[in-house]
Chain A
Amino acid sequence: MINKEKIEELMSINGQVKDVVFQTDADYILKKYGEEGLAKLEKKAEELNIPINYKEANSLKLCPIGLRVLSLLLMRDVFGLSDSEIREIGYSAPATSFVVKLLMRFLSSFSRLAKEVPNYWKNHYTIGSLESVYLNEKTKDLIVHLKDFKVDPILCIYFEGYFRRIYEFAVGFGNGECKETKCMFKGAPYHEYVFRTRK
């Protein structure tokens, strides 16, 4: 449950993310629960004094990273979402993100994806870094490490979906799998995500 302490804790974290995340969240809610669902979400945010404006989110503005986490927590609380659904929100986000589409235009090969991963992260987040640590062009296996980014475990689940979709821009829709194999919340020095194509 979100409470005042949690809000304060999250809002105190340094770092920003592109405001567009609220737009992708809103798209998911609209598709799944309609306008009524979005209104319900906005009302809850208002009740908790969480300053998220879903309708005016844009691709270029930055917002506190804590606010991004709060949006996910709000959705989970309001709609009782499971981890799987949180992953689904992550999975659907790149498909509706203008910025992602712009970046993916240059994706000419699998190795290019690995190369673009750090840039991609920098374009969206002001804290942490994302690196490709393993790449197999033939099998399309990929391992990335997310470092210096210990915000909230819900993002670990969200990223499993989000990264998978990004990965699928290189291997094809529905063809990818992504699993967090190491997590800073479980004592690891970084988050490790392993990508494989579905056999």
Chain B
Amino acid sequence: MFSEHANNLEKKDTLNESILELEAYIKDFWRFLPLPVYYFNPMHIALDATRAAEDFSGYSEAEIIGRDLSKIFAESEQTISSFKKEILEGKHTLKKKMIFLTKDKRRVPVNVFVSPRESLNGEFIGYFLAVFDISAFEKFQKELEEKISKRTKELEESRTALMNILEDVEESRREAEEERDKTVAIVANLTDGLFFFDKNDILAFINPQAEKIFNVKKEQLIGKDFLEIISRQELKPLLDALGQKIKKVFRKEITINENLTLELTTVFVSRKGEKIGSLLILHDVSREKLVERMKTEFVSIAAHQLRTPLSAIKWTLKMFLDGDLGELTKEQKEFAEKSYISNERMINLVNDLLDVSRIEEGRYLYKLTPARMERIIQAIINSLSRVAKRKGIVIDFVKKQKSFPQVKVDAEKIGLVIQNLIDNAVKYTPEKGKITVSLSKTGNNLKVEVADTGMGIPKDQQGRIFSKFFRGANALKTETVGSGLGLFIVKNIVEAHKGKIWFESEEGKGTTFFFTIPINPEKI
């Protein structure tokens, strides 16, 4: 009996020791745990708290124990009530973000973890509640959000700036399009025909006028090569004018049909020194041609109508002067001579006008026959030497070769050329002057030079010297007689023979006219 009692006491002591050790262990653990952890009973009253909870909250253990859950957090009564309900209903760990209230009234954002406890018989006996300070995280998150917000703002500003740029670009594009539309409209409505070939001679643009002129459709031509395009029958006039490739031409006349004459000009378009294409401009000159033709016809008719009565006057005056109609007094004879000279001038002018008309009608050259240039020249010099001699002017004829080949020319017209040039030289060379006519063979041409020591042609008027009715200002002062048609006729005659004419002149010193005539012209 005694030993059984002693045995029981021993067992009790051992159990007590174990319980005490367990108590000490739990206390030590709660002191050590570095996380703020609370233990609440089912009525949400704190029964325990770790040392970390004391440090975190600022409350002592005595102040924590017995504290209601609602006093731990800075949350509304409704939130706490709902939270308590969740705890009591929950079987599993609960996590919630809440605001923790410290003794010194700081509000700290925390994540709260709740783990319910049950007794051995399944009765809910409270819960552990741990708080995890997320203020640093929140601060970081806030800073991150601020940074993101700032960056978003910057991006939005950039986007706005970009949108503004895009709007500007769009505006510029619209303006450019408007300009382009305007240009297209102008080009489309241009009365000139236009072809634009790119740098590879591919047709990039053709305007409606060009389509109309050649009776073609742009769809048939755009994107095609120059050669392919001008090979078409409708565009043959271009091939005739330009040949196999686009070359520089200026106001070259093209006759499409009887009623349509065009002037073709090519322009090489470049940007920053680099060729970007070629523009073919076709200007309709049909109306000008018609007017010119009508004018020429009028002049021709008028000249013909004038020539008959002028001839009658000439012969009548001749009869007076020759005494066929009786002797004239000295005074009557002087008047008759003056009338005769004036009439002669009138006849010459009418002849010149007729020549011009014929030239413009393209029916000026009649008789192309082999001729010797030196003989034509010599004959003209002979006929004018008397007039020259009266002014004390010597006319020299220099043949630079011993012999010259024959040339196929309209001898009468070439004679007219030489006569006009020497006649002008005599007219505009002062007394005691000198005229030198030279003949030479240069290559496949015969070259004629008529040099004088006359008044020369003013520099600023040299460009118009071959124009119809043009006379130099200094010439007008000294010689009132002259139609201004001579050099125009001369130039047309030379060019009709496929020859060239030009001059060199210095005012006050003299002028030299040059012209060439091909020895074997291919076709005149």
Contacts and interface: CB of A to CB of B under 8 A. Distances in A.
B23 A173 contact: no
B61 interface: yes
Nearest to B70: A172
A95 B66 contact: yes
B19 A168 contact: no
A135 interface: no
B45 interface: yes
A154 interface: no
A178 B350 CA distance: 153
B66 A98 contact: no
A69 B117 CA distance: 37
A57 to B, nearest CB: 11
A54 B37 CA distance: 29
Interface stretch (A6-14, A38-46, A72-80, A105-113): A105-113
A109 B26 CA distance: 26
A165 interface: yes
Interface in A33-91: 58-61
Interface in B50-71: 60-63, 65-68, 71
By CB atoms of chain A within 10 A, which of B16, B48, B62, B124 has the most?
Answer: B62
Nearest to A91: B62
B125 A106 contact: yes
A9 to B, nearest CB: 30
Given A98-B27, A172-B71, A105 B65 contact: no
A61 B39 CA distance: 26
Interface residues on B, range: 20 to 34
A104 B47 CA distance: 7
A155 interface: no
A169 B62 contact: no
A107 B16 CA distance: 24
Nearest to B68: A172
Is chain B's interface secondary structure helix, strand, loop, or mixed overall?
Answer: mixed
A173 B41 contact: no
A129 interface: no
A94 B42 CA distance: 18
A16 interface: no
Contacts of B415: none
Given A59-B23, A95-B65, A169 B126 contact: no
Contacts of A60: 16, 19-20
Contacts of A92: 62
Given A58-B20, A59-B20, A96-B61, A104 B45 contact: yes
Contact of B41 (A59, A94, A95, A107): A107
Interface in A167-182: 168-170, 172-175
A101 B63 CA distance: 14
Interface-central residue, A108, A168, A170, by most chain B CB under 10 Å: A108
Contacts of B48: 101
A170 B43 contact: yes
Given A94-B65, A94-B66, 4 more contacts: A59-B20, A95-B66, A96-B62, A105-B117
Interface of A: 31, 58-61, 92, 94-96, 98, 101, 104-110, 165, 168-170, 172-175
5 contacts: A31-B60, A31-B62, A95-B66, A98-B27, A173-B65
